[in-house]
Chains A and B, each alone.
Chain A
Amino acid sequence: MVKNKDFTMLDAKDLPLGGVLPDAGSAEEYETGGWRKLRPIFDPEKCIDCLTCWVMCPDSAIYVEDDKIAGYDLDHCKGCGICAEVCPDKVQAITMVEEEN
């Protein structure tokens, strides 16, 4: 696919006509993790795998494998804290902490 991370003028002859983007889901290559001020810290010990955090995450940043939370996609997580909020009160498997840098 056409890549452009440095905002330089693209070459007309490389571009599919009419601005069509043929590579579905290519936004995965665009990292939004840098937006994060808070980082979710996940405690697998506490998690009951209800998957509520997964379904509510706006950035499709929570991995599920074999019906279980399998980790976080920190390249895309924007640190909104929704996952920590929606994790059941009696579970509280996610805590949001200051991002280091």
Chain B
Amino acid sequence: MTAVAQTQRETGLTGNSAIAYAMMQINPDVCPAYPITPSTSVIEEFSSYVADGKVETELIPTESEHSAMSAGVGASAAGARVMTATSAQGLALMWEMLYIASGMRLPIILTDVNRALSAPINIHCDHSDTMGARDSGWLQLYSETVQEAYDNLIMAVRIAEDKRVQLPIMVCLDGFITSHAIENISLLSTEAVQGFVGEYTPDSALLNVENPATFGAMTLPYAYMPLKKQQSDAMTASKPVVEEIAAEFALLSGRNYGLLEEYKLDDAEVAIVVLNSSAGTVKDAVDTLRAQGKKVGALKPRLYRPFPHAEIAKALSGKKAVCVLDRADSMNGFGGPLFTDIRSALYSDANRPQIIDRIYGLGGADFRVNDALGVFDELFKVQETGQVDELIKYLTV
């Protein structure tokens, strides 16, 4: 039996249970939280771990998500490792504090169980919540499966707290689809998780009363701008850290994660780019078409912030036609956020493909293998004609 296998246990868990379990294994110092569908059971289950004495975490059941993230900022500045979870309106209510957490360089770890934003009110999955926070200065990791969500969360702790990064991080998984469906998952032992994440030791902390420091000072332009540059540089610098920590995690778990996952992409002529659980659907469609001898593939970014623009451009360079599937609309009249980012990343590539955007699955709308096959049909047409008829379109409506 290998060392890797000894540290692992196979079981069936929902995404939310796996997240709560990882949080229990990590045993964060402070968990400020507020319930919201579909992330609620993360906090419920974690509250039970607290109540049962399985963790030494201080649970702060705040009266709103804004206060949850505010308490998170206070706790993190105080020197604590802080973890929380939310969804949709909850993340939106945190919006102000997301920027503050990042600007203050506080490595808070948040799980967002993706859900549509109101209005109209809808509790089902899409990515409009975390896409709305894509430029808040948080790193974002997306997760296709329960396993990936669990693994991402454990890696997230190390990434956020790395001295080269020191930025907050969001782990995203699809509401109800991943959060509530039971999948087989391989859990690490708690000792292995704790050994991997280590202890949080910030350079300065409010609770370090021997060195009283001021956090969150008022800045004028001469300080604001250089501090913003520092933050931006850290965001850029975090990309190799994500890779490094994934490599370390692979040694522990036997599971390999890149910034992106390329699925049969190498020799593909047309490809779909997609985040989170729908990647599974797209992979099925790829398999179906591959069986027919069609050169198709898929690309699933795992890291979305910082945006791995060079890696994505490299992966898509030379393809004939690409469709970006967006589970959110930017409402800017120019498609979804993933589309504009990817199109921009490809701009300076001499062999850039034709590229289209298809918005799908809003508010939990189904996206089936047939829908993915339909997208590939569109791509074949683009490949054939070299023409894009419709740049941006809603699917299934």
Task: Tell me the A residues contacting B by CB distance below 8 Å.
Answer: 4, 7-12, 15-22, 24
Do residues B226 and A9 form an inter-chain contact, with CB atoms below 8 A? yes
With contacts A16-B204, A17-B166, A18-B105 known, what are 11 further pairs, Cβ within 8 A?
A7-B220, A9-B222, A9-B225, A12-B229, A15-B223, A15-B226, A19-B216, A19-B217, A19-B219, A20-B213, A24-B213
Which of B204, B217, B233 meets A12, CB within 8 Å?
Answer: B233
Do residues B211 and A12 form an inter-chain contact, with CB atoms below 8 A? no
Do residues B222 and A19 form an inter-chain contact, with CB atoms below 8 A? no
Determine the chain B residues whose CB is within 8 A of the CB of A10 once the complex forms: 222-223, 226
Do residues A15 and B225 form an inter-chain contact, with CB atoms below 8 A? no
Do residues A22 and B213 form an inter-chain contact, with CB atoms below 8 A? yes
Determine the chain B residues whose CB is within 8 A of the CB of A20 once the complex forms: 204, 213-215, 217
Q: Which of A4, A10, A16 has the most CB of B within 10 A?
A: A10
Do residues B214 and A12 form an inter-chain contact, with CB atoms below 8 A? no
A24 to B209, CA, bound (A): 11
How many CB-defined contacts (below 8 Å) exist between A and B? 60
A56 to B233, CA, bound (A): 46
Q: In which size bucket is the chain B interface?
A: 20 to 34
Determine the chain B residues whose CB is within 8 A of the CB of A21 once the complex forms: 213-215, 217
Which of A9, A12, A15, A18 meets B103, CB within 8 Å?
Answer: A18
A2 to B384, CA, bound (A): 62
Do residues A12 and B213 form an inter-chain contact, with CB atoms below 8 A? no
Asked, given contacts A18-B104, A20-B204, A21-B217, whether A8 binds B226 with beta carbons under 8 Å apart, the answer is: no
Asked, given contacts A17-B203, A19-B103, whether A24 binds B212 with beta carbons under 8 Å apart, the answer is: yes
13 contacts between A and B (CB under 8 A): A7-B222, A10-B223, A12-B230, A15-B226, A15-B227, A17-B230, A18-B106, A19-B104, A19-B216, A19-B219, A20-B214, A21-B217, A24-B212
Interface 1/0 per residue, B41-63 and A, CB below 8 Å: 00000000000000000000000
Chain A residue with the shortest CB-CB distance to B219: A19
* Min distance, Cβ B396 to any Cβ of chain A, angstroms: 44
Do residues B204 and A19 form an inter-chain contact, with CB atoms below 8 A? no
Determine the chain B residues whose CB is within 8 A of the CB of A19 once the complex forms: 103-104, 215-217, 219, 223, 227
Do residues A22 and B204 form an inter-chain contact, with CB atoms below 8 A? yes
* Min distance, Cβ A56 to any Cβ of chain B, angstroms: 25
Nearest 4 CB-CB pairs, A to B?
A: A18-B105, A12-B226, A21-B214, A24-B212
Determine the chain A residues whose CB is within 8 A of the CB of B227 once the complex forms: 12, 15, 18-19
* Min distance, Cβ B119 to any Cβ of chain A, angstroms: 35
Interface 1/0 per residue, B89-123 and A, CB below 8 Å: 00000000000000111100000000000000000
Chain B residue with the shortest CB-CB distance to A27: B214
A8 to B213, CA, bound (A): 24
Determine the chain B residues whose CB is within 8 A of the CB of A4 once the complex forms: 222-223
Chain A residue with the shortest CB-CB distance to B215: A20
Chain A residue with the shortest CB-CB distance to B105: A18
Chain A residue with the shortest CB-CB distance to B224: A19
* Min distance, Cβ B101 to any Cβ of chain A, angstroms: 10
* Min distance, Cβ B185 to any Cβ of chain A, angstroms: 36
A61 to B214, CA, bound (A): 22
A7 to B224, CA, bound (A): 12
A11 to B226, CA, bound (A): 6
Chain A residue with the shortest CB-CB distance to B205: A20
Determine the chain B residues whose CB is within 8 A of the CB of A17 once the complex forms: 105, 166, 203, 230, 234
Which of B166, B203, B220, B230 meets A15, CB within 8 Å?
Answer: B230
Determine the chain A residues whose CB is within 8 A of the CB of B217 once the complex forms: 19-21
* Min distance, Cβ A32 to any Cβ of chain B, angstroms: 16
Of residues 197 to 214 in B, which have CB atoms within 8 Å of A's CB atoms?
A: 203-204, 211-214
* Min distance, Cβ B80 to any Cβ of chain A, angstroms: 15
A68 to B357, CA, bound (A): 77
Determine the chain A residues whose CB is within 8 A of the CB of B215 once the complex forms: 18-21
Determine the chain B residues whose CB is within 8 A of the CB of A11 once the complex forms: 226
A88 to B108, CA, bound (A): 53
Of residues 147 to 179 in B, which have CB atoms within 8 Å of A's CB atoms?
A: 166
Determine the chain B residues whose CB is within 8 A of the CB of A15 once the complex forms: 223, 226-227, 230
A7 to B221, CA, bound (A): 9
* Min distance, Cβ B134 to any Cβ of chain A, angstroms: 21
